[in-house]
Structure 1
């Protein structure tokens, strides 16, 4: 199973798409039914969809999987009684699957039978412009992060990789985390992380963003859990987005870390300790995009 995309509804999808392509580094993929689909340099047909809506919310976060994985999820979701419905995707990449609402309202979509596209070549280190490859993780705020961690283990067959004082990190393959649940006290989108080719690409991305008038809200730095390099930004249209790279690959028997395994010297919040963090600005942005079910449950 792999994390593929996030689908966001907002009043001005064209403006959001223009900034994400003109500044952040994504490329236009398709325009369907008023929705703007943006891709990275990798083989997924799109990473972000901006869809028109009077209000802003997260419509879904999409994982692609095999028919066998999908059948198993359907069975466990039905047994648990979670709100869900069958879907046939009208997005690039197509596919069939289900929409699932987690206990605090987060909406995940699982699709099988999807297609991919040829990677984009030609972004070189000689160019100032950078481009993400794919999504590396989508993190959600939670009222009860432990509840959601146990729920996705029991029903979706995800695995908790690490617990810290701030988050529960969850994986769906050998990448340390494809999602996580922050101990925030409210439910919403925390941030969307985009995978860059390497550390150099992250640093060049920071330079490119400065050229365009944007400084990191946090970073550069290197996390503890996942060991990934990061730089966080608050997008002009609202959400927190991240340049990231080199999330740790973990074995199936990886020992789940606990909060005491991830402590830092006083006043430090990552391995490097070289960057300040805009706590207040990030908090406002992290509360802004809630998940919403705009569909009625149906038998799977």
Structure 2
């Protein structure tokens, strides 16, 4: 289907902006994982560029260089899995509004770094969302400045060389989280309705069916990252990857060198995305979960309308290596096969035809 207006009509049923969201999230604050080995988790994450801010017997906290108490929480558990993430809201009144959502907790005091208050919710796909207010910021950590490039129209670096330090890429901030879900429509609608997320770009199949939504925060006239949350159609609810901003392209490249030399598994990169424009590089932690270094991403205000784009492997990057099939290949197990059959019977968004189309397209 080549008619862009028809693609837009079909894809705007959902996702779409909600006219009166419950609250408007202000930031992505942290991720929550469970891991059997906190020391091994710390070894990868510090090589990746995060800094340990607190380590307890059962919980590990790591942070970026920006003024936050922490951005990554690892809880000791027998099985490795992703639990959920945190979103900052504007006030205690916002937290009270969120308590009225079915299944939400009451407003509780936080005992995590930075303290404050939170409400714990569960989205339609089973991911935990901790809405946070009043968390005290941490001190900004020092990081190197962006390198000055000698470009054709302007060449500021005279009688000087480029020698970035051989060290892990310093993570400036937690940038975004990408989830795969079976209940695509309901999950997208939950985030637009309750946290005011704005769809920036939607990727669709040839019949106009939306398959991936990149969502940004609604900060009004203040520019926001192209996406803080992305939701993709899958056959079960699972973590796809999380992304972390670094200072420049040399930091992305140096991060690759250090992680490769220290024996970690590379996933995909270096390249530049089409939607979001980030220069990217993906790495796997000890449990196979993908973590992305990026820089030079797009920033949109609330005025920017939603874009509609055909989905394909070629639509993932402007340049760089082709996305490997293993990047989107699901973890197959007996339990996951049972879940696939159950979701095919249960979910209105997951059909055999759609599943076969995605498998042929992405392997």
* TM-score for both structures, normalised by structure 2: 0.71
The answer to whether the Cα contact below 8 Å between 1:234 and 1:282 also exists between their aligned partners in 2 is no
Structure 1 residue 213, shift from structure 2 partner: 3.1
Aligned length: 280
Aligned to 1:93: 114
**Aligned CA distance change for structure 1 residues 186 and 81 (closer, same or farther; 3 Å):** same
The answer to whether the Cα contact below 8 Å between 1:84 and 1:101 also exists between their aligned partners in 2 is no
**Aligned CA distance change for structure 1 residues 227 and 235 (closer, same or farther; 3 Å):** same
Aligned to 1:278: 324
The answer to whether the Cα contact below 8 Å between 2:121 and 2:130 also exists between their aligned partners in 1 is yes
Aligned to 1:126: 164
The answer to whether the Cα contact below 8 Å between 2:268 and 2:327 also exists between their aligned partners in 1 is no
2:111 aligned counterpart, secondary structure: coil
**Aligned CA distance change for structure 1 residues 150 and 286 (closer, same or farther; 3 Å):** farther
Q: Tell me, in whole angstroms, the C-alpha distance in 1 between the residues paired with 2:235 and 2:105.
A: 25
The answer to whether the Cα contact below 8 Å between 2:99 and 2:106 also exists between their aligned partners in 1 is no
Structure 1 residue 19, shift from structure 2 partner: 2.1
Structure 1 residue 243, shift from structure 2 partner: 0.6
Q: Tell me, in whole angstroms, the C-alpha distance in 1 between the residues paired with 2:196 and 2:95.
A: 8
The answer to whether the Cα contact below 8 Å between 2:99 and 2:107 also exists between their aligned partners in 1 is no
1:268 aligned counterpart, secondary structure: helix
Aligned to 2:180: 141
The answer to whether the Cα contact below 8 Å between 1:94 and 1:115 also exists between their aligned partners in 2 is yes
The answer to whether the Cα contact below 8 Å between 1:4 and 1:62 also exists between their aligned partners in 2 is yes
Q: Tell me, in whole angstroms, the C-alpha distance in 2 between the residues paired with 1:139 and 1:77.
A: 25
The answer to whether the Cα contact below 8 Å between 2:104 and 2:119 also exists between their aligned partners in 1 is no
Q: Tell me, in whole angstroms, the C-alpha distance in 2 between the residues paired with 1:120 and 1:4.
A: 17
Q: Please report the RMSD computed on the Cα atoms of aligned residues, expressed in angstroms.
A: 2.4
Aligned to 1:205: 255
Unmatched segments (≥5 aa) in structure 2: 1-25, 146-162, 205-210, 336-363
**Aligned CA distance change for structure 1 residues 84 and 225 (closer, same or farther; 3 Å):** farther
Paired residue for 2:279, among 216, 229, 249? Answer: 229
1:246 aligned onto 2:246: no
Structure 1 residue 258, shift from structure 2 partner: 1.5
Aligned to 2:66: 42
Aligned to 1:2: 27
2:329 aligned counterpart, secondary structure: helix
**Aligned CA distance change for structure 1 residues 286 and 118 (closer, same or farther; 3 Å):** farther
The answer to whether the Cα contact below 8 Å between 2:98 and 2:119 also exists between their aligned partners in 1 is no
Aligned to 1:163: 202
1:25 aligned onto 2:25: no
The answer to whether the Cα contact below 8 Å between 1:98 and 1:109 also exists between their aligned partners in 2 is yes
* TM-score for both structures, normalised by structure 1: 0.84
Structure 1 residue 98, shift from structure 2 partner: 0.4
Structure 1 residue 230, shift from structure 2 partner: 1.0
Aligned to 2:93: 71
Structure 1 residue 20, shift from structure 2 partner: 1.3
The answer to whether the Cα contact below 8 Å between 2:95 and 2:107 also exists between their aligned partners in 1 is no
Structure 1 residue 285, shift from structure 2 partner: 6.2
Q: Deviations over 1:117-175 (max 9, x none)?
A: 22221547631112111110011111132322222111222211111134111112422
* Greater radius of gyration (CA): 2
Structure 1 residue 92, shift from structure 2 partner: 0.7
Structure 1 residue 103, shift from structure 2 partner: 0.9
1:45 aligned counterpart, secondary structure: coil
Structure 1 residue 73, shift from structure 2 partner: 5.6
